[in-house]
């Protein structure tokens, strides 16, 4: 099968039985049956075509920062999205339209757009994922009100479906909401995103980048293996505060621990397994249900 896949994707573009844990911000997880390191949009398109031709499952990953990969790994083709192009496609007096590859790391994008005087991404500085993943999850900054969402500045997204059909999706189609975009339902793959960014003073925007980074370093675990905030808030209530009020900071199962800094973070304290994380998540959900009679939902995706 590998030889057949290489005929479509290209030799040297695809490998078999590759560990994904090394790429994950949580530093755990099994193997990809086939891994494509996609450096261009064409690489993604070819991988989708190959998966469709041979009826294989296809999974796209960016920064692997908001997912937990099971010990059994992922069957079929896994695309690790490393695309990193960006260009201004429209330059007006007050704003620009900036087309960005979906694999572009959002912290890099926040820094570069701030330095260019383009407003809208700067508060996402310090996040580990890609712009494609941020659009998929409608990533947010809630360090102050009102909350800033990536979806606020998305103009369009170019997507490809599992059969290989490409589309340009506008903001109305994407149906952005809290921790949500319609792409979560359609399972389309985002190829690139066009952002509508206001023009502003670069110094002011770079200061916002630093403000966001300072806030994250003060309030969240930094420099450790984690997947970010683990649970979605419920009806405006902070799940992190609920967990903290139950005295669960520092509680661990196996190598997975509830952060002592921010209770809505789970950290890989010592060689955690995906099963450790799952057990800890289930434990937290049961405790929250018993204490508050609410069902909480993971923001992090289990694969």
Q: Which residues are designated catalytic?
A: 229, 299
Q: How far apart are CA 143 and CA 145, in angstroms?
A: 7
Is the separation of the CB atoms in 205 and 197 below 8 Å?
A: no
Residue 9, classified by CB atoms within 10 Å of its CB into exposed (0-12), middle (13-18) or buried (19+), is buried
DSSP the chain: -HHHHHHHH-TTSEEEEEESGGGSTT----EEEEEEEE-SHHHHHHHHHHHHHTT--EEEESS--SEE--TT-EEEEEEEE----EEEEEE-SSEEEEEEETTSBHHHHHHHHHHHTEESSGGGTT--SBHHHHHHHT-EE-SSSSPEEGGGGEEEEEEE-TTS-EEEEEHHHH--BTTB-THHHH-PEEEEEEEEEEE--HHHHHHHHHHHHHHHHHHS--SSSEEEE-B--BTTB-HHHHHHHTT-TT-EETTEEE-SS-TTEEEE-SS--HHHHHHHHHHHHHHHHHHH-----BSSEE-
Separation of first and last alpha carbons in the chain:
23
């Amino acid at each position: 099968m590998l030889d057949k896949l290489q005929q479509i994707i290209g030799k040297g573009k695809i490998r078999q039985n590759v560990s994904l844990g090394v790429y994950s911000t949580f530093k755990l997880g099994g193997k990809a049956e086939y891994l494509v390191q996609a450096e261009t949009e064409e690489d993604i398109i070819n991988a989708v075509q190959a998966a469709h031709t041979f009826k294989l499952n296809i999974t796209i990953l960016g920064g692997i920062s908001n997912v937990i990969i099971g010990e059994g790994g992922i069957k079929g083709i896994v695309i690790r999205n490393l695309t990193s192009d960006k260009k201004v496609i429209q330059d007006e007096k007050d704003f620009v339209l900036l087309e960005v590859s979906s694999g572009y790391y959002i912290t890099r994008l926040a820094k570069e757009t701030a330095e260019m005087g383009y407003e809208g991404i700067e508060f996402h500085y310090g996040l580990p994922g890609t712009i494609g993943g941020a659009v998929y999850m409608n990533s947010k900054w809630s360090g102050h009100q009102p909350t800033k969402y990536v979806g606020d500045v998305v103009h369009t997204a170019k997507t490809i479906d599992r059969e290989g059909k490409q589309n340009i999706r506008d903001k109305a189609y994407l149906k952005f909401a809290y921790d949500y975009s319609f792409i979560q339902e359609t399972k389309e793959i985002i190829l690139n995103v066009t952002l509508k960014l206001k023009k502003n003073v670069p110094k002011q925007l770079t200061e916002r980048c630093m403000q966001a980074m300072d806030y994250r370093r003060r309030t969240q675990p930094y420099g450790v293996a984690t997947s970010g905030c683990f649970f979605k808030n419920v009806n405006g209530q902070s799940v992190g505060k609920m967990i903290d009020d139950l005295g669960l900071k520092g509680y661990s199962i196996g190598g997975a621990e509830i952060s002592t800094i921010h209770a809505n973070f789970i950290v890989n304290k010592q060689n955690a397994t995906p099963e450790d994380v799952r057990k800890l998540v289930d434990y937290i959900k049961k405790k929250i249900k018993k204490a508050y009679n609410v069902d909480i939902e993971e923001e992090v995706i289990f694969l």
